[in-house]
Every structure is written in structure tokens, then in C-alpha cells.
């Protein structure tokens, strides 16, 4: 049995109406709790927010949606359905990958379509390797999701189970890059199945092979886009929570928590006081710990993931080379990760994610116009330029990115811009994100699973954390799960390690 909040938990206040907070709210409502959600912004979304700019409707946070069934679990908790509230468009291709040598590859999530594309791109041997890799990713996902991702931990002893041996047998504790290399020899293909480690904050050469589960989400489970933009997801979750009886208080900043002994008794905002029996805190860890007035002891300081510069562009044209999502790789690879995670320099040969949401939903821009979201990973403010340095650096880096995009075939992009917004580590820092990164604590071994900051904090009986800084980690699917796991700490419901596999299931692993 995992630990749960003791005592009365009839009324729960959720601080933050991002994906984690809304997931927690829906699961709590489904378990019969009265829920009040307090959000500083004027509407739901948190990092998955929305900005209106000259007729362009811009998603300010994540642009990639995978494993929507995890979101649907939250809707189902209150007898609702994600697909009845949001139209999900499967993306084909999921990504388009372009490389410095001029080659390109469309990443399909269907096995046959992707095998054919890999054979066209790199030959029959690599296509066969891809199919073996796909099978390994599926087995890896089955083992991890059941016991290590969708589960609360009270101590590292929770790892000691039969699935740990299965994960080890699958090579999950080896290095990601080397494991992918057992299936694929083409260095370009290996990038497609390992770049995801960047968002976990660890270079593929040093990341655990277990993190290939993120590649499973991207390249096997499918990539989707909600009609109306990614912000349509938290908006629908908020609507479902309201319909299920939650009280949503927008535009209210939490200033402090009242306590009696080891229990939080009320959440105090700039507009009043909300009594509670328990609280779920979803702000980034430094903000949550400051509200609690305490932080857990750790033998070493938390390491944070790289950050990102995001250039939102509303343009009067687009470029045929771009899919909905385009991975535009530079020639450098290991050097890029050294710059992002060790030396703290901006990428000398950038690899970029370019998202064109109007490829799927033209209504996000005025008629005849297009939206482009350019994400350039960069060092966080702990190891790279500090927040203050970005005041002068931001416009120069913006111009450098546009020059690089021009060089890579987006002719005339500078003159095509009609509206723009630049987001830098300083922006993230001002929003309360530690080290100026939206990707929170890196997923090193010492910051993963039971070693990651836990969602229960010693010294406070009835406060639970949710969000990307705690269990299980960074990314839309895992953040949704963090809300579910936080709710389980209060209700004692699902979110505990699952039962061992049956013998038939074991055979399939």
C-alpha cells in the first residue's frame, strides 16, 4: 500500500489550472471530492496557454499531443469523454525530419508505412532494424507504464519487483544511443528515435535506454492535434470539471497557505481565503516549496533540463517543405548536447522543431495567413546566459534564427512576418520556472522514479504536488498522469503500483 493523505479530505483546493491541476481536479471529482481550482491567469491552461495576437491564435506551450487516452482517463473519471469535447486529428506524418545533407524522412506511426519509408530512405536492412526497434519499444512501454510511470512511490524499495528484472532484460539500464544503435546503423535514423531525450534533459549518449519510452509515444502510439489548437485540451478539461461541480476561480494569485500544525487549513489568494481539507499544488517546485515553507532534503542540488527559445511567427506565406511538425537537424549532434547540457553555450549548429499548426487547422490564423512555431533548445539559466543577459541577447538570437531558417530553405521568412512573439529563458523565469526552463528537473537516474522529488512533502500531511517537477516527469502524458497520481494520494484510488503480470502477459514481454 502506498501512503495517502490522512484525515478528512472532503474539500480539496487545486492550485493551478494547467494540465496537471485539471487532471487532478477531474480525478478528485470522480472520487466524490468537492474541488476548488485557483488559477492566477484569466483562464485555464497554465503552460498550455493561449495568446491572441493580431488575429493569430497562438498556443504558448506544448505543440505535440501523444497518448490522448491518458487525458481521456481524466474525463472518464467524471463520466465525460475527451472526443465528445475535442476533435482530435491524427497527424500523418507525425513528423517530417530534415537533415543537413539535404535528405528528408517522413515519420509515420503505422508500422508498414514507416518500414516502407525507412527502406526508401536508408535501405532494406534499416527497415528490418526499424521493425525490430518498434517491437522493443512496445515491450519497453508495456513494462514501464504498468509499474514505473503510472505509479506512486514511497521509497526506492518500490522498484524491487519482477518488472525491474524485465526492464533490465530489455536493456533499459543501458545507454539510449547505444541501444538504438543495435537496431539502426544510419546515424540520421538514430536521431529520430533518440532526440526526445533532450526534453528529459539528458544527452542520448548518457540517457538511460528506458527513456526510449518517449520515442514510443512519438513514433508508435501516434501524434494528434486538437482542432482549435493544443489549448483546446485544457479548455475542455476545465469545462468538464465545471460541469462536474468544480468551482473555478481564475485571475486569483495564491499568496500563502494557512496551516494548523502539519495540516493546510486554507489557501489565501489576493482576493480572499479558501478553506480546505487538502491541497494539490501544481506550480513549479520552487514556488510550491515556498508556499509550503519547507523543501525536502536532497544530497545534491537538483539539475534542470535545457530551456528553449520559442519564436512564434504569424506570416503571409508558408513553405511546402514544412509538415505540421518538422524536425530540422543541424549537422552537429554530440556537440549540440554538450553545448546545451555542459558548456552552456547556444547551439552553434542548431537542431530545431518547427510546428505549423495552420497546416491542420487554418482557423488559427486570419484567412490566407499561417502560424509557425520555431523551438530552439538552449541552455538553462543555471549553466548558460542568465535571465538578465537575455535582454540584449534575445533580439540578436531572434535575427540569427531567422537567418538560419532562410539558409535552410525558408526563403523570405523575415519579410513574411506580420506578427511575432519571442519567448526566452528570461520569460520562463519570470513565470516562476526554475533555471528558466519549462522542462523542469532533468531525468537523470538520480531524479527519476522514486528518486524524483516526490508528490508528498514531509512536514505537511495534506498537501500533494503535481506537475512536471514531480512524479512521473516532463511531457504532456506524464503531466496528466501526475495529476491522477496526486489525486490518488488523497483518495486512495488508482495510482498505486499494479499487480504482477499474468503468465500470458509475461510471455508477451
How do residues 216-236 score in pLDDT, each as one tens digit? 999 999 999 999 999 999 999
Q: What is the mean pLDDT of residues 254-264?
A: 96
- Identify the burial level of 160 via C-beta atoms within 10 angstroms of its C-beta, where 0-12 means exposed, 13-18 middle and 19 or more buried: exposed
CA distance between the termini of the chain: 26
- pLDDT, one tens digit per residue, over 332-379 is 988 999 999 999 999 999 999 999 999 999 999 999 999 999 999 999
Q: What is the mean pLDDT of the chain?
A: 91
Model pLDDT, residue 39: 98
The model's pTM is 0.92
Q: What is the mean pLDDT of residues 502-506?
A: 34
DSSP designation for 175: B
Q: Which residues contact 91 (CB under 8 A, 6 or more apart)?
A: 222, 223, 224, 225, 323, 324, 325, 360
DSSP designation for 18: B
Q: What is the mean pLDDT of residues 287-306?
A: 85
d(CA 286, CA 266): 20
pLDDT at 146 > cutoff 90: no
pLDDT at 92 > cutoff 50: yes
pLDDT at 152 > cutoff 80: no
CATH 2.60.40.10 applies to domain 11-47+68-81+230-301+446-491: no
Query: Do you know the residue count of the chain?
Result: 509
| 129 vs 499 pLDDT, higher one | 129
- pLDDT, one tens digit per residue, over 166-207 is 777 877 778 889 999 999 999 999 999 998 887 778 888 888
* Helical spans, DSSP H, in 268-307: 285-292
Label residues 29-56 b or e (16+ Cβ within 10 Å = b): bbbebbbbbbbbbeebbbbbbbeeeeeb
d(CA 74, CA 89): 20
Model pLDDT, residue 495: 45
- pLDDT, one tens digit per residue, over 1-34 is 688 999 999 999 999 999 999 999 999 999 999 9
- pLDDT, one tens digit per residue, over 392-430 is 999 999 999 999 999 999 999 999 999 999 999 999 999
pLDDT confidence bin for 506, thresholds 50/70/90:
very low
Model pLDDT, residue 156: 57
Q: What is the mean pLDDT of residues 433-462?
A: 88
Q: What is the mean pLDDT of residues 285-291?
A: 93
CA-based angle 320:323:328, to the nearest 5? Answer: 95
DSSP designation for 298: -
pLDDT confidence bin for 163, thresholds 50/70/90:
low
Model pLDDT, residue 276: 98
C-alpha cell at 32: 466524490
pLDDT at 71 > cutoff 70: yes
pLDDT at 323 > cutoff 70: yes
Strand locations in 181-336 (E):
223-226, 247-250, 254-260, 263-269, 272-275, 278-281, 307-315, 325-328
Model pLDDT, residue 164: 67
Closest CA to 31 of 39, 42, 40, 23: 23
Model pLDDT, residue 130: 97
Model pLDDT, residue 147: 66
87 neighbors 68 (Cβ within 8 angstroms) = no
Q: What is the mean pLDDT of residues 453-472?
A: 93
pLDDT confidence bin for 161, thresholds 50/70/90:
low
413 neighbors 318 (Cβ within 8 angstroms) = no
Closest CA to 482 of 89, 16, 38: 16
pLDDT at 98 > cutoff 60: yes
Amino acid at each position: 500500500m502506498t501512503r495517502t493523505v490522512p484525515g478528512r479530505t472532503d474539500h480539496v483546493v487545486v492550485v493551478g489550472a494547467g494540465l496537471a491541476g485539471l487532471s487532478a481536479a477531474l480525478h478528485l471529482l470522480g472520487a466524490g471530492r468537492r474541488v476548488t481550482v485557483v488559477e492566477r491567469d484569466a483562464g485555464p491552461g497554465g503552460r498550455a496557454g493561449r495568446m491572441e495576437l493580431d488575429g493569430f491564435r497562438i498556443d504558448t506551450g506544448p505543440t505535440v499531443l501523444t497518448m490522448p487516452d491518458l487525458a481521456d482517463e481524466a474525463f472518464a473519471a467524471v463520466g465525460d469523454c475527451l472526443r465528445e469535447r475535442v476533435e482530435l486529428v491524427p497527424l500523418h506524418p507525425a513528423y517530417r525530419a530534415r537533415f543537413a545533407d539535404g535528405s528528408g524522412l517522413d515519420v509515420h506511426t503505422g508500422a508498414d508505412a514507416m518500414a516502407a519509408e525507412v527502406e526508401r530512405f536508408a535501405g532494406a536492412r534499416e527497415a528490418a532494424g526499424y521493425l525490430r526497434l518498434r517491437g522493443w519499444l512496445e515491450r519497453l512501454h508495456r513494462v514501464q507504464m504498468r509499474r514505473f510511470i503510472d505509479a506512486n512511490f514511497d521509497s526506492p524499495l518500490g522498484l524491487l519487483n519482477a518488472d525491474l528484472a524485465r526492464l533490465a532484460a530489455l536493456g533499459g539500464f543501458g545507454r539510449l544511443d547505444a541501444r538504438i544503435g543495435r537496431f539502426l546503423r544510419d546515424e540520421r535514423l538514430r536521431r529520430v528515435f533518440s532526440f526526445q531525450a533532450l526534453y528529459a534533459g539528458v544527452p542520448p549518449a548518457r540517457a538511460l535506454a528506458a527513456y526510449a519510452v518517449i520515442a514510443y509515444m512519438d513514433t508508435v502510439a501516434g501524434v494528434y492535434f486538437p482542432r482549435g489548437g493544443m489549448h483546446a485540451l485544457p479548455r475542455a478539461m476545465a469545462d468538464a470539471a465545471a460541469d462536474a461541480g468544480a468551482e473555478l476561480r481564475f485571475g486569483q494569485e495564491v499568496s500563502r497557505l494557512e496551516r494548523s500544525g502539519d495540516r493546510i487549513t486554507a489557501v489565501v489568494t489576493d482576493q480572499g481565503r479558501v478553506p480546505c481539507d487538502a491541497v494539490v499544488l501544481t506550480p513549479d517546485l520552487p514556488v510550491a516549496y515556498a508556499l509550503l515553507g519547507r523543501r525536502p532534503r536532497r544530497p545534491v542540488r537538483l539539475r534542470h533540463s535545457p530551456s528553449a527559445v520559442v519564436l512564434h511567427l504569424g506570416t503571409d506565406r508558408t513553405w511546402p517543405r514544412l509538415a505540421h511538425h518538422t524536425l530540422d537537424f543541424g549537422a552537429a549532434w554530440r556537440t549540440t548536447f554538450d553545448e546545451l547540457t555542459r558548456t552552456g553555450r547556444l547551439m552553434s549548429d542548431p537542431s530545431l522543431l518547427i510546428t505549423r499548426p495552420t497546416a491542420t487547422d487554418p482557423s488559427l490564423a486570419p484567412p490566407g495567413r499561417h502560424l509557425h512555431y520555431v523551438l530552439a533548445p538552449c541552455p538553462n539559466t543555471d549553466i548558460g546566459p542568465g535571465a538578465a543577459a537575455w535582454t540584449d541577447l534575445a533580439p540578436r538570437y531572434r535575427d540569427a534564427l531567422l537567418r538560419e531558417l532562410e539558409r535552410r530553405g525558408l526563403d523570405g521568412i523575415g519579410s513574411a512576418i506580420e506578427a511575432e512573439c519571442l519567448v526566452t529563458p528570461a520569460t520562463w523565469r519570470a513565470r516562476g520556472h526554475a533555471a528558466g526552463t519549462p522542462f523542469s528537473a532533468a531525468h537523470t537516474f538520480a531524479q527519476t522514479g522514486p528518486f524524483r522529488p516526490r508528490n508528498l512533502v514531509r512536514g505537511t500531511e495534506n498537501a500533494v504536488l503535481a506537475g512536471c517537477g514531480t512524479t512521473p516527469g516532463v511531457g504532456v502524458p506524464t503531466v496528466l498522469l501526475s495529476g491522477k497520481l496526486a489525486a490518488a494520494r488523497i483518495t486512495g484510488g488508482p495510482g498505486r503500483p499494479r499487480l504482477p503480470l499474468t503468465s500470458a502477459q509475461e510471455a508477451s514481454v
